[in-house]
A and B are shown apart, each in its own frame.
Chain A
């Protein structure tokens, strides 16, 4: 008898509700994410996609519900536990969020220094490896102001990778980039999965990119998840997704 083994989810969100004052962002949403998956969160602007990413890493606290990321609930974690979680979960921010006053090298090793790594040789080695991985070996001593949008995103990715995380959260990684750089970032996200078995959660409006890289899509609208499934299945048979792709989907 063939037994199908279901992998254990590494992220479980159960009945999550988020609000800012009177504004309700998420209304009791639930989903699971498995090791090595690339899951893209789609949805109209202002539906709380970025808020959801930030909730997963403990930057925003939910109103109610349960979150479990690698066995830790970021909303209830002590500062020490939260720190331990953040070593395992990296984030690439929308504008890369590089520290302006620090060089590319200092940006990349920032998290490692915070974790107590003081050996300069180790730091140089890790920064060199991560920059090589994103194809920017020559940029160690440059400042963020001297980088293009795509280069900033790649340095941001190298910084997120420096602490060897299991999960990386991408907030609009390809927004504002030219098609070649979009393809480059897409390939980097795919390589994270294929070479490093890293789980990626991507928030994007770029349907082409989302189709290319994702195993699964979640459609977030009006505070709830209205579609969740493998990409080909959703594109072929889910009217919500079809309307969203065709631009005939409205958020109320």
Chain B
């Protein structure tokens, strides 16, 4: 019994030290990247290239996710609201949910899968094939060359993707409201405008920017800290997607709480 307790204590201690070590390494990586950005050690051409890869190339998946989310949101809320004869309020619920919550979170999750996996696989392959070491021996900084441009691009482009997701999501909701629920477009619009304020949209964009920073920095971190071999590449990719998705969910709660506190003070 005693030895069992000490084994559990040992496991817990190892887990805690691994967690603290990982957080320390992650902090170092992001700090270096942020300093690279602020000291202008990154190439604008690389940032624009990443904006295209992370942002423009993610548009189809974000649009598809947003339109169906908006549509199903309208269906579900109308289903609930018509019990109280309040079907006409579908516009404000779709608007609020899309801008404050679903637009940023779902876009971030989709990007964690598409972009995060890609970045983790690319960087971990470079680690395994010693390209990162080669880069260092040739006098280049992997942080300035690979990590900082990707983090900056994601932080800039995520709010833009969320604006698209918000508009498309609300349009999807409108489509279902008009065609399926017999709510007029004017009623939908009036209900939307009545509730939605600019702060709701801005809060969503702030969240998006933070999510963009988090998911790409986590993907870079997982890629840079891969084990050797092709198994390491696979593990890094899976771990990047899982970790960034979990972190997005956790961060979402705390950012929302913080933004609500700021808004009410």
What residues make up the interface of A, taking CB atoms closer than 8 Å to B?
A: 54, 57, 59, 83, 86-87, 89-91, 93-95, 97-100, 110-111, 114-115, 159, 163
Contact = CB atoms under 8 A, between A and B. Distances in A.
B138 A111 contact: yes
A91 B137 contact: yes
A93 B126 CA distance: 13
B139 interface: yes
B129 interface: yes
A99 B142 CA distance: 13
Instruction: Classify the interface of chain B: helix, strand, loop or mixed.
Output: helix
A87 B129 contact: no
A152 B96 CA distance: 56
Contact of B138 (A94, A95, A100, A114): A114
B136 A87 contact: no
B130 A95 contact: yes
B131 interface: yes
Contact of A97 (B129, B139, B140): B129
Interface in B115-163: 129-131, 133-140
A94 B131 CA distance: 11
Contacts of A97: 129-131, 133-134
A110 B140 contact: yes
A115 B134 contact: no
Contacts of A95: 129-130
Contacts of B135: 99
B139 A83 contact: yes
A182 to B, nearest CB: 21
What's the interface size class on B, roughly?
Answer: 10 to 19
B131 A111 contact: no
A110 B136 CA distance: 11
A124 B91 CA distance: 62
A100 B125 CA distance: 10
Contact of A114 (B129, B130, B131, B139): B139
Contacts of A59: 133, 136-137
B146 to A, nearest CB: 11
B139 A99 contact: no
Contacts of B133: 54, 59, 91, 93, 97
B140 A114 contact: yes
Contacts of A91: 133-134, 137
A89 B138 CA distance: 9
B35 to A, nearest CB: 12
Given A86-B138, A114-B139, 17 more contacts: A57-B137, A59-B133, A59-B136, A59-B137, A83-B139, A86-B136, A87-B139, A91-B133, A95-B130, A97-B130, A97-B131, A97-B133, A99-B135, A111-B138, A114-B138, A115-B139, A159-B138
A111 B135 CA distance: 8
A93 B139 contact: no
A100 B126 CA distance: 9
Nearest to B125: A100
Contact of A86 (B129, B130, B131, B139): B139
